[in-house]
Amino acid sequence: MRCKPLYSIICLLLVAFLFSCSKNAVEFDEQLSNTRALLSIDLTQNAGEEQVAIKTVRFVIFGNASSSIPYLDVNEFHEEATPLETTDIKAVIEVKGNSDIMAIVIVNEPAGLKSDLDNIGSLSDLKNIEFTIAQLLNNSKEEIALMPMTGIKQGIYVKPGEAVNPVSMTVERAVSRVDVYLQVTDGGAQTGYINGSTTVTMHNLSHESVLVNGFGNMKANALLLDKTWTAGSSDTWIYSSAADAKNRRLLCSFYTSERAFTDSNKPTISMTNIRKGAQPTDVIGVTRQELGQITPTGGGQSQDFEGFQRNNVYQITAKVGKLGIQIVRVSVESWGDPKNIDVDVEL
């Protein structure tokens, strides 16, 4: 399941110099290889989606991309003195003419990878570059100020005799996010969290990932992690049927890398000391509740929750009522546009 990426790179133009037609494809590519072209890239944000500050942008261009030996044509790095809060970024890059060009865009690359990215000599080098989310988190908190994003476009073709060859491509966040919500149900029910006591633990997350996806590669045997959030304040709320009632509230968020699940390492959630009543001692929790099935909203056949995909938000909702706590919903959406796919799990 793929969701809509965060940004669209639109109106990516290849402006080729004029040259005579060749007699065959081999001769054509030989001529193209000596012909410079201008690659014009406009980076714009889709309407209604979250702004992301942009500090750096890297453009990597390969020619003969489908061959056994693609050649590196361009590796340009651009850095702003201060992060841009806009996504109106344009660049014009000179490339060699070719009938099989691949363009890669890397936004907000992790600082620790700059040397590796500066020195890539082949497509294989780029495919093998990995990063860890731990490098991105602010002061060990689940916050990322400069979100890394990547995109790939293959099969770009500079045609002889045509001044403009437009194509389009997209970039998306290189991580996934898990949001955990607490929702109160039933008339008179009450829930909340307690400072220093309420915890949420996500089991079997991962922080290791390849930087650029799109080649069918994914980090294998990534180290699995348990990440815990502890409440830093207290709050309680009672169920209300009012139209503007906030019965469902965000507790915490976690970042995780993309990975495919196996039967033995699916993600699970534990929660402790969730308020379930007016008294401080009225608390409940769950232990390693598995998130294993996906059911489309409104019905339909359930399917296995098979993995985390980058640029997706996974929303887990724990419902607290008079009978206890249930993990009843995990919705999956892109960072912006809901896909209305839920996971229903009952204790």
DSSP assignment string, 121-167: -SHHHHHT-EEEGGGTBGGGSS-BSS--EEEEEEEE---TT-S-EEE
- Please state which of the ranges 105-109, 141-145, 147-151, 309-313 shows the lowest mean pLDDT: 141-145
Same topology, domains 7-173 and 176-342? Answer is yes
Q: Which CATH class is domain 7-173?
A: mainly beta
In this prediction, residue 272 carries a pLDDT of 96
Q: Is the pLDDT at 17 greater than 90, yes or no? A: no
What is the domain partition of the chain in residue ranges?
7-173, 176-342
Q: Rounded distance, CA 163 to CA 85, Å?
A: 33
CATH number, domain 176-342 = 2.60.40.3380
In this prediction, residue 222 carries a pLDDT of 85
End-to-end Cα, the chain, rounded Å: 27
What confidence category does residue 24 fall into, taking pLDDT thresholds of 50, 70 and 90? Answer: very low
pLDDT digits over 220-236, tens only? 788 999 999 999 999 99
Q: Rounded distance, CA 337 to CA 53, Å?
A: 19
Residue type, 206: S
- Please state which of the ranges 119-133, 134-148, 170-184 shows the lowest mean pLDDT: 134-148
Residue 205's contacts (CB-CB under 8 Å, 6 or more residues apart) are: 178, 224, 225, 226, 227, 254, 256, 267
Q: Rounded distance, CA 311 to CA 333, Å?
A: 9
In this prediction, residue 38 carries a pLDDT of 61
Greater pLDDT, 13 or 68: 68
pLDDT digits over 321-345, tens only? 877 777 755 666 666 543 332 333 2
In this prediction, residue 253 carries a pLDDT of 93
What confidence category does residue 118 fall into, taking pLDDT thresholds of 50, 70 and 90? Answer: very high
**pTM of the shown model:** 0.81
Of 105, 183, 113, give the one whose Cα is nearest residue 150.
105
Output the CA torsion 202→184→345→230 (10° steps). 10
Residue type, 46: N
Q: Which of 35-44, 53-62, 78-87, 296-305 has the highest mean pLDDT?
A: 53-62
In this prediction, residue 291 carries a pLDDT of 82
